[in-house]
């Protein structure tokens, strides 16, 4: 499902659920893709009284509608005028939206049950774990949440071993929630890395868990900084750079004891030549598992879509790792290639 909107929608409730499961892709009208995306249903949540929005929506629909796709309009104010405008823009169905986007999405899923049939390759326990992982309330509540991360990571490893990293990457790269996407990609590439090296189950789980949890500290970095579409200023960079230490502290506080996992969370932005952060550690003081998570992290960030850059191909991302031998352990980088790229 594609959702076009001119509103600032908070990704929570049903909207968050559908985006995280890859069922819904949400596009602000001002940045609707100019290439056609195959889809089953188009949902429009747009202020039709706003001339500029109606015009942008017409352009977006000209690109994305197909003969088979229902085009559903959510009318927050349903009256004769908005109904006829929606029909003029090609609405095949109208939803009354007085109760907001989440209620409308539930109506839509009931109307088009085939949308629910989308089978995500991301296991449900991983989806649940990651939703909690990125939520500050999880960590503000007392309790031991180490088990949550472990269950989510084990399920990632099982999925990668069953279906392969390419399948995983293809699906996860289509997700819209970028932090969610990033954690899944780093966990998935870490699982593939450990598997291709013939690690024991215990070591594979440790590496996948480290990848899965590496950015957990971002739960406490303001979303308007994480999602900022322009360059960060010095204060914002300093703010983001707190996430490794925050992640380390909260995992420790919540009962995670594995030193490899804790070190990866704290040190995944350290670089071999000591130019990384937070501590400026040199390569010889970094365990291999941490260096492996760093490789998975950088590779994933490069192949992901960001508002400010095009996604790199896997080959180009790999070339970046080999071009910067002062930062990344090249023996591990070569081993990583075998796990990610076809020979």
Q: How far is the CB of 180 from Fe ion (least distance, A)?
A: 12
* d(C-alpha 78, C-alpha 74), whole Å: 9
Taking the least distance from each CB to Fe ion, the nearer of 18 and 213 is 213
Taking the least distance from each CB to Fe ion, the nearer of 194 and 217 is 217
Q: How far is the CB of 208 from Fe ion (least distance, A)?
A: 14
Taking the least distance from each CB to Fe ion, the nearer of 248 and 318 is 248
Taking the least distance from each CB to Fe ion, the nearer of 6 and 304 is 304
Taking the least distance from each CB to Fe ion, the nearer of 101 and 289 is 289
Q: How far is the CB of 300 from Fe ion (least distance, A)?
A: 7
Q: How far is the CB of 260 from Fe ion (least distance, A)?
A: 16
User: CB of 153 within 8 A of CB of 145?
Assistant: no
Taking the least distance from each CB to Fe ion, the nearer of 29 and 207 is 207
Taking the least distance from each CB to Fe ion, the nearer of 270 and 297 is 297
Q: How far is the CB of 278 from Fe ion (least distance, A)?
A: 11
Alpha carbons within 13 angstroms on the beta-carbon side of residue 312 total 14
Taking the least distance from each CB to Fe ion, the nearer of 260 and 297 is 297
In three-state form (DSSP H/G/I as H, E/B as E, the rest C), the secondary structure along the chain is: CEEEECCCCCCCHHHHHHHHCCCCEEEEHHHCCCCCCCCCCEEEECCCCCHHHHHHHHHHHHHHCCCCCCEEEEECCCCHHHHHHHHHCCCCEEEECCCCHHHHHHHHHHHCHHHHHCCCCCCHHHHHHHHHHCCHHHHHCCCCCHHHHHHHHHHHHHHHHHHCHHHHHHHHCCCCCHHHHHHHHHHHHHHHHHHHCCCCHHHHHHHHHHHHHCCHHHHHCCHHHHCCCCCCCHHHHHHHCCHHHHHHHHHHHCCCCCHHHHHHHHHCCCCCECCCCCCCCEHHHCCHHHHHHHHHHHHHHHHCCECCECCCCHHHHHHHHHHCCCCCCHHHHHHHHHHHCCC
Interacting residues toward Fe ion by CB under 5 A:
215, 297
Q: How far is the CB of 183 from Fe ion (least distance, A)?
A: 8
User: CB of 44 within 8 A of CB of 50?
Assistant: no
Q: How far is the CB of 82 from Fe ion (least distance, A)?
A: 43
Alpha carbon of 332 to those of 37, 205, 253, 325: distances in Å? Answer: 37, 18, 31, 11
Q: How many CB atoms lie within 10 A of CB 106?
A: 14
Taking the least distance from each CB to Fe ion, the nearer of 32 and 153 is 153
Q: How far is the CB of 46 from Fe ion (least distance, A)?
A: 34
Q: How far is the CB of 272 from Fe ion (least distance, A)?
A: 17
């Amino acid at each position: 499902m594609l959702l076009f909107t001119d509103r600032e929608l908070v990704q929570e409730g049903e909207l968050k659920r559908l985006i995280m499961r890859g069922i819904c892709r949400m596009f602000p009208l001002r940045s609707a893709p100019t290439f056609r995306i195959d889809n089953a249903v188009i949902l429009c949540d747009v202020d039709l009284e706003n001339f500029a929005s109606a015009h942008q929506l017409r352009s977006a629909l000209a690109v994305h509608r197909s003969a088979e796709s229902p085009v559903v309009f959510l009318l927050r104010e349903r009256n004769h005028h908005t109904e006829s405008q929606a029909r003029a823009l090609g609405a095949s169905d109208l939803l009354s939206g007085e109760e907001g986007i989440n209620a409308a999405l539930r109506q839509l899923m009931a109307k088009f049950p085939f949308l629910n049939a989308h089978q995500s390759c991301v296991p449900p326990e991983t989806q649940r774990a990651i939703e909690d992982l990125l939520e500050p309330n999880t960590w503000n509540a007392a309790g031991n949440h180490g088990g949550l991360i472990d269950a989510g990571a084990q399920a990632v490893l099982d999925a990668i071993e069953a279906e392969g990293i390419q399948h995983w990457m293809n699906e996860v790269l289509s997700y819209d929630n970028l932090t969610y996407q990033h954690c899944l990609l780093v966990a998935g590439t870490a699982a593939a890395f450990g598997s291709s090296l013939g690690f024991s189950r215990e070591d594979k789980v440790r590496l996948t868990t480290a990848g899965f949890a590496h950015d957990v500290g971002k739960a406490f970095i303001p979303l308007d900084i994480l999602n900022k579409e322009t360059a960060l200023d010095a204060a914002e960079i300093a703010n983001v750079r707190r996430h490794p230490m925050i992640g380390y502290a909260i995992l420790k506080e919540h009962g995670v004891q594995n030193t490899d996992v804790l070190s990866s969370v704290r040190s995944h932005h350290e670089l071999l030549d000591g130019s990384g952060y937070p501590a400026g550690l040199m390569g010889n003081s970094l365990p291999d598992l941490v260096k492996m998570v760093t490789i998975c992290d950088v590779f994933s960030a490069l192949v992901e879509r960001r508002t400010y850059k095009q996604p790199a191909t896997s080959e180009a991302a790999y070339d970046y790792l080999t071009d910067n031998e002062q930062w990344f352990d090249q023996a591990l980088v070569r081993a990583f290639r075998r796990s990610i790229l076809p020979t």
